[in-house]
């Protein structure tokens, strides 16, 4: 069969690093081709070259057999290449049709002809089973609908090659299932799909062929049907990976963290958390799962003192911390791994050793009479770096900014675990991390549980929730809609609860 | 390998950008001098003379120039410490000028109204300047912490308030002999010293350099060595992380503005009782605040950097009259200053340039190896 895209021996250098090293990608027309690799493996660089955002330093590109030079995204568009970005680029108070025609508005004389555009949008939507209302406003439709609008945008522009950049990150399991259906439908109609992802399950479910990159190099291209998830993972990471989290049964004890009738306002001034109650016992991990934006962030910020509590109470081992400032909450035994490690977790321009004492710099041995003891601060960092295998260019002297995401997260984990809190609020601990780091962090979280800590684990990754938690609380619209045992539930049940269609008392 | 990225810095890079910027600034100055038809060598000779007192062309030495350089550098070093201190806490303090003026007014008040021996009077005068500057700085700090009013707006406005309050007080409360200045301060309040003037051949050099040096050391110590400074830097780099770690962000903002204001207030006291010996009514701001911002920028808000950049800018100011007397417009000094600031502001571009040049060099040295491999 003919290749529609051929990227041959692509080389791309950035100062100090070769992001793509002799990478060859050949995609058959009418197939779903997955591009698999860890963060920093060079997937995005390769796709940016195909989309005209970077020019390659070596190699050639052929589209439909013809040699091309893609100098900017307009050239890519003309060649029929379209991209569904991870973060949608939509105007929220415009309708679906208005968003789709943005940039090539159809005109009748000098007047915008929105009707004929809407008709075309409706036709496309029907043809590919997208089920999108051309006149709905973006702000009124769900995230998965918004993603379909992005797809429609490309179809409207007659794109034949569709690049999907991590498309499932924002979707519920049911929505992911629907998206896969849409992708298959697109291929049936003759489109070609390039799927960028690090989720093996999805590749297995939908892709025909998979190209694996590691550290900028091409590791191989394999037919998905004949390759196991484990061997693809091995290609991606370079060693064997264990998927299941190794953990014994939990031995929960007394309730440590108790939340009662909590109400918290969100950024819009509305109640983001409504009368929410939950409790976490010592020696157990309570997973908090839900679709992004259903009150998880507000709940966590309220627990940790970053957002004010409207009403209700939070206690740790019976001590009321509802109105305490952050510092005193931490002193009461609260630990917090924040959801946004760059915004809250680290001072990126501080050195690693300075970051390691961000809570404790004011007390001995790190300072005496208000004077910092850099010797002790350094020793502390060296100990934690060693114990938690935090890798960085210059050890304790490394600026946090120049570390990889996985090592930044390990540094935060090291700092927080070392404080030895009794109630541990952990949010999105593995977001954007590669398989190796995820494995390590899960192991550490389970180890903390086994030490008798009460852990609240909030995550958008359903697999993570199912693998790591002992019990699972599902949050929807700022309320807990169900609490279930992790080993007695599955993705389907959770998915239904996450979308608010099923409630279940636990 | 994964740690090597574009924009990765090496040790010593922090110094590299300002040095390259200064060299480029002088290059621009030289070009402008050439356009006016003069030799840049004359300009450099004047600057060397301003810096060392040596006139290479004539083989003479005059220490007065060194004294004048220091006099020019002192206030802008202090206003740079003022700007830099707030900047390390993430605040953009444009109010150094106003904080300096209230410091100067407070110093004038204590100098004129208090009678005491010099070893008490001088510390009182300097202390009064610092307290006044600190209180003036507390206003924008409090408004920022309490009501989230942007400090840039408040400090700009307070500069005008300070200017007119100063003039009002000097002219109407203390009384002025000539609608410009107050009566002479008593000798006990002055930093002036005939001995310092005599060893520098009649320059205006005075003991003001002592509190300035102490201020630089205090700045360095507080920011780099204390828990308080750690908290300030954390707030400056990342307010959210500081809050997450349980720091008192708002309190730090107010304190930082107060300490910054104290540096500028000290500058006011040093000028009033060192360079001058009377309180002055001003027709407009004298630009110490903006010079201080430039110095802090070039010195990357580091204590030593501010000292060096302050001396550099002091030299450019002091060399002005010298260049003038050699037929080179003294505005060249201003052009060089402005170019240096512009080049420092293009920090990212310079870093990228340096990084690309390095990569080329690394590639060039790596090429023969790959060539051999290809041959095999």
Residue closest to A499 by CA, chosen among A483, A477, A484, A471: A477
A403 touches chain B (CB under 8 A): yes
Amino acid B6: pLDDT: 39
Task: Report yes or no on A407 lying in a domain.
Answer: yes
Contacts of A497 (CB under 8 A, 6+ apart): A474, A476, A481, A482, A503, A504
Range A263-284 burial, b when 16+ CB lie within 10 A, else e: bbbbeeeebbbbebebbbbbbb
What CA–CA distance (Å, rounded) separates A147 from A156? 14
A324 touches chain B (CB under 8 A): no
CATH number at residue A75: 3.40.50.300
What CA–CA distance (Å, rounded) separates A43 from A211? 10
Domain stops at, among A237, A264, A289: A237
- Coil, helix or strand at residue B134: helix
Is residue A81 located within the same domain as residue A214? yes
Q: Are A35 and A24 in contact (CB under 8 A)?
A: no
A343 touches chain B (CB under 8 A): yes
Q: How far is A343 from chain B (nearest CA, A)?
A: 6
Would the CB atoms of B230 and A215 count as touching at under 8 Å?
Answer: no
Q: Are B155 and B142 in contact (CB under 8 A)?
A: no
Q: Is the dihedral of CA A440, A442, A448, A450 positive or negative?
A: negative
Residue written as tokens 């204001």?
A: B261
Residue closest to B325 by CA, chosen among B66, B46, B58: B46
| pLDDT per residue as tens digits for the range B99-157 | 999 999 999 999 999 888 989 999 999 999 999 999 999 999 999 999 999 999 999 99
Q: What is the mean pLDDT of chain B?
A: 87
Domain stops at, among A198, A213, A237: A237
| pLDDT tens series, chain A, 506 aa | 589 999 999 999 877 678 899 999 999 999 999 999 877 788 888 998 998 888 899 999 999 989 999 988 889 989 999 988 877 888 989 999 999 988 878 888 888 888 888 999 999 999 888 889 999 999 888 888 999 999 999 999 889 999 998 888 777 778 888 999 999 999 998 999 999 987 888 899 999 999 999 888 999 999 999 998 888 888 888 877 776 777 888 889 999 999 999 999 988 888 999 999 999 999 999 999 988 888 999 999 999 999 999 999 999 999 999 999 999 999 999 999 998 888 899 999 999 999 999 999 988 889 999 999 999 999 999 999 999 888 887 889 989 988 878 889 999 999 999 999 999 999 999 887 777 788 889 999 999 999 999 999 999 888 899 999 999 999 998 999 999 999 899 888 898 898 888 777 65
Show which of residues 295-314 on chain A sit within 8 Å of chain B, judged by CB atoms.
304-306
Would the CB atoms of A362 and B227 count as touching at under 8 Å?
Answer: yes
* Secondary element (H or E) of residue A277: strand A271-281
What CA–CA distance (Å, rounded) separates A492 from B226? 54
- The ipTM is 0.78
Residue B370: pLDDT band with limits 50, 70, 90 = very low
Is residue A98 located within the same domain as residue A232? yes
CA closest to B234 among chain A residues: A347
Residue closest to A261 by CA, chosen among A304, A306, A217, A311: A311
What CA–CA distance (Å, rounded) separates B13 from A122? 57
What CA–CA distance (Å, rounded) separates A318 from A89? 47
Angle at B243 between CA B157 and CA B303, to 5 degrees: 60
Find chain B residues with C-beta within 8 A of A57's C-beta.
none
Q: Testing the interface with B: which of A11, A12, A15 to mutate, by most B Cβ within 10 A?
A: A15
Is residue A177 located within the same domain as residue A45? yes
Taking an 8 Å Cβ-Cβ cutoff, which residues of chain B contact chain A? 1-8, 225-228, 230-231, 233-234, 237-238, 240-247, 355-356, 358-359
Amino acid B365: pLDDT: 60
Find chain B residues with C-beta within 8 A of A326's C-beta.
243-246
Is residue A87 located within the same domain as residue A218? yes
Find chain A residues with C-beta within 8 A of B243's C-beta.
306, 326, 344
Q: Testing the interface with A: which of B245, B301, B302 to mutate, by most A Cβ within 10 A?
A: B245
A345 touches chain B (CB under 8 A): yes
CA closest to A326 among chain B residues: B246
Which residues pair with residue A473 across a beta bridge?
Answer: A288, A483
Task: Report yes or no on B266 lying in a domain.
Answer: yes
Task: Report yes or no on A242 lying in a domain.
Answer: no
Number of domains in chain A: 3
- DSSP secondary-structure letter at A306? S
Question: How far lies A266's CA from each of A258, A311, A477, A480, in Å?
Answer: 21, 14, 12, 16
**Does pLDDT of B9 surpass 70?**
no
Lowest mean pLDDT among A446-460, B285-299, B313-327, B353-367: B353-367
CA closest to B235 among chain A residues: A347
Mean pLDDT value of segment B153-176 = 91
Domain stops at, among A212, A237, A262: A237
A338 touches chain B (CB under 8 A): yes
Largest CA distance in chain A: 78
DSSP B157-208: HHHHHHHHHHHHIIIIITT-SSSSB-PPPPGGG----HHHHHHTTS----TT
Would the CB atoms of B1 and A362 count as touching at under 8 Å?
Answer: no
Task: Report yes or no on A230 lying in a domain.
Answer: yes
A364 touches chain B (CB under 8 A): no
**Dihedral angle of Cα B245, B248, B254, B256, to the nearest 10 degrees:** -40
Is residue A294 located within the same domain as residue A323? yes
Where are the strands (E) in A15-57, listed by range?
17-28, 32-36
Is residue A151 located within the same domain as residue A61? yes
Find chain A residues with C-beta within 8 A of B241's C-beta.
343-347, 358
What CA–CA distance (Å, rounded) separates A479 from A277? 8
Is residue A385 located within the same domain as residue A258? no
CA closest to B226 among chain A residues: A371
Task: Report yes or no on B374 lying in a domain.
Answer: no
Task: Report yes or no on B376 lying in a domain.
Answer: no
What CA–CA distance (Å, rounded) separates B114 from B116? 6
What CA–CA distance (Å, rounded) separates A306 from B120? 48
Residue closest to A62 by CA, chosen among A43, A42, A81, A45: A81
Find chain A residues with C-beta within 8 A of B240's C-beta.
343-344
Contacts of B157 (CB under 8 A, 6+ apart): none
Quote the domain boundaries for residue A460: 252-333+422-506
**What is the interface size between A and B, counted as CB pairs within 8 Å?**
96
Is residue A415 located within the same domain as residue A428? no
Task: Report yes or no on A245 lying in a domain.
Answer: no
Contacts of B73 (CB under 8 A, 6+ apart): B310, B311, B313, B314, B315
Other Cβ atoms closer than 10 A to A181: 12
Is residue A265 located within the same domain as residue A213? no
Pairing of strands A454-459, A423-427: parallel
Find chain A residues with C-beta within 8 A of B89's C-beta.
none
Q: Is the dihedral of CA A299, A300, A301, A305 positive or negative?
A: positive
Is residue A120 located within the same domain as residue A143? yes
Quote the domain boundaries for residue B253: 7-347
Q: Are B93 and B258 in contact (CB under 8 A)?
A: no
A338 prior amide bond cis, ω within 30: no
Is residue A208 located within the same domain as residue A349? no
Choose the closest CB to A402 out of B1, B8, B240.
B8
Amino acid B366: pLDDT: 53
Lowest mean pLDDT among A109-123, B82-96, B126-140, B167-181: B167-181
What CA–CA distance (Å, rounded) separates A174 from A493? 10
Angle at B217 between CA B212 and CA B220, to 5 degrees: 125
Is residue A296 located within the same domain as residue A230? no
Mean pLDDT value of segment B84-90 = 93
Find chain B residues with C-beta within 8 A of A393's C-beta.
3
CATH number at residue B75: 1.10.3470
Q: Are B103 and B120 in contact (CB under 8 A)?
A: no
Task: Report yes or no on A244 lying in a domain.
Answer: no
Write down the pTM of the prediction. Answer: 0.77
Number of domains in chain B: 1
Amino acid B373: pLDDT: 36
Residue closest to B136 by CA, chosen among B106, B167, B99, B85: B99
Q: Testing the interface with B: which of A14, A16, A217, A391 to mutate, by most B Cβ within 10 A?
A: A16
């Amino acid at each position: 069969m003919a290749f529609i895209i051929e990227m041959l021996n692509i080389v791309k250098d950035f100062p100090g690093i070769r992001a793509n090293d002799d990478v060859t990608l050949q995609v058959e027309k009418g197939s779903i081709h997955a591009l698999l690799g860890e963060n920093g493996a060079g997937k995005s660089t390769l796709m940016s070259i195909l989309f005209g955002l970077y020019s390659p330093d070596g190699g050639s590109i052929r589209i439909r057999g013809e040699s091309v030079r893609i100098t900017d995204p307009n050239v890519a568009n003309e060649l029929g290449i379209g991209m569904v970005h991870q973060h949608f680029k939509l105007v929220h108070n415009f309708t679906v049709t208005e968003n789709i025609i943005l940039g090539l508005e159809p005109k009748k004389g000098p007047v915008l002809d929105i009707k004929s555009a809407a008709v075309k949008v409706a036709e496309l939507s029907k043809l590919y089973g997208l089920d999108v209302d051309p006149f709905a406003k973006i702000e009124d439709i769900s995230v998965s609908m918004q993603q379909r609008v992005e797809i429609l945008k490309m179809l409207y522009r007659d794109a034949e090659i569709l690049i999907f950049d991590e498309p499932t990150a924002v979707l519920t399991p049911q929505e992911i299932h629907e998206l896969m259906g849409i992708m298959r439908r697109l291929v049936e109609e003759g489109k070609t799909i390039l799927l960028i992802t690090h989720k093996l399950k999805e590749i297995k479910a939908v892709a025909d062929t998979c190209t694996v990159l590691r550290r900028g190099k091409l590791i191989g291209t394999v037919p998905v049907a004949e390759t196991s998830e484990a061997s693809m993972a091995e290609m991606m990471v370079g060693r064997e990976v264990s998927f299941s989290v190794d953990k014994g049964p939990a031995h929960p004890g007394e309730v440590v963290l108790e939340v009662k009738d909590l109400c918290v306002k969100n950024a819009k001034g509305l109640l983001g958390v409504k009368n929410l109650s939950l409790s976490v016992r010592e020696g157990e991990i309570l997973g908090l799962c839900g679709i992004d934006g259903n009150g998880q962030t507000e709940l966590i910020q309220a627990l940790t003192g970053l957002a004010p509590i409207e009403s209700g109470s939070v206690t740790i081992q019976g001590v009321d911390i509802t109105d305490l400032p952050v510092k005193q909450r931490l002193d009461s035994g609260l630990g917090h791994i924040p959801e946004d490690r760059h915004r809250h977790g680290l001072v990126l321009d501080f050195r690693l050793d300075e970051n390691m004492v961000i809570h404790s710099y004011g007390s001995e041995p790190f300072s005496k009479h208000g004077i910092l003891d850099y010797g002790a601060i350094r020793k502390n960092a060296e100990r934690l770096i060693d114990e938690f295998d935090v890798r960085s260019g210059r050890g304790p002297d490394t600026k946090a900014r120049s570390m990889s995401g996985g090592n930044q997260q390990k540094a935060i984990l090291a700092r927080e675990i070392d404080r030895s809190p009794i109630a541990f609020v952990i949010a999105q601990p593995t977001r954007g991390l590669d398989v190796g780091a995820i494995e390590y962090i899960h192991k550490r979280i389970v180890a903390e549980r086994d030490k008798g800590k009460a852990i609240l684990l909030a995550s958008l990754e359903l697999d993570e929730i199912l693998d790591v938690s002992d019990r699972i609380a599902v949050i929807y619209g700022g309320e807990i809609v169900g609490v279930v045992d992790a080993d007695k539930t599955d993705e389907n049940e959770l998915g239904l609860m996450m979308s608010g269609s099923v409630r279940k008392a636990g | 390998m994964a740690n090597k990225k574009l924009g990765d810095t090496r040790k010593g890079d922090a110094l590299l950008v300002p040095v390259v910027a200064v060299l480029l600034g002088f290059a621009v100055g030289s070009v402008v001098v050439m356009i006016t038809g003069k030799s840049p060598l004359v300009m450099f000779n004047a600057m060397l003379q301003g810096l060392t007192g040596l006139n290479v062309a004539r083989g003479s030495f005059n220490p007065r120039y060194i004294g004048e350089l220091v006099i020019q550098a002192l206030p802008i070093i202090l206003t740079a410490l003022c700007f830099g201190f707030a900047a390390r806490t993430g605040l953009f303090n444009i109010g150094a000028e106003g904080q300096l003026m209230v410091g100067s007014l407070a110093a004038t008040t204590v100098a004129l109204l208090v009678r005491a021996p010099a070893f008490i009077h001088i510390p009182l005068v300097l202390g009064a300047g610092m307290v006044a500057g600190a209180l003036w700085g507390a206003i924008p700090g409090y408004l920022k912490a309490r009501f989230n009013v942007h400090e840039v707006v408040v400090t700009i406005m307070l500069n005008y308030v300070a200017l007119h309050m100063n003039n009002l007080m000097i002219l109407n409360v203390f009384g002025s002999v000539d609608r410009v200045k107050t009566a002479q301060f008593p000798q006990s309040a002055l930093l002036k010293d005939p001995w310092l003037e005599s060893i520098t051949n009649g320059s205006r050099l005075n003991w003001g350099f002592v509190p300035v040096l102490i201020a630089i050391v205090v700045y360095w110590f507080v920011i780099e060595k204390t828990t308080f400074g750690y908290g300030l830097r954390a707030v400056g780099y990342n307010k959210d992380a500081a809050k997450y770690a349980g720091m008192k962000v708002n309190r730090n903002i107010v304190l930082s503005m107060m300490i910054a204001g104290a540096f500028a207030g000290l500058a006011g006291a040093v000028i009033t009782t060192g360079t001058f010996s009377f309180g002055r009514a001003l027709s407009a701001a004298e630009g110490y605040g903006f010079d201080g911002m430039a110095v802090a920028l070039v010195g990357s808000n580091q204590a030593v950097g501010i000292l060096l950049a302050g001396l550099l800018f002091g030299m450019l100011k002091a060399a002005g009259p010298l260049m003038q007397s050699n037929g080179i417009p003294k505005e060249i000094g201003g052009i060089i200053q402005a170019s240096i600031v512009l080049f420092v502001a293009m920090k990212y571009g310079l870093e990228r340039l340096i990084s690309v040049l390095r990569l080329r060099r690394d590639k060039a040295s790596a090429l023969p190896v790959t060539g051999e491999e290809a041959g095999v």
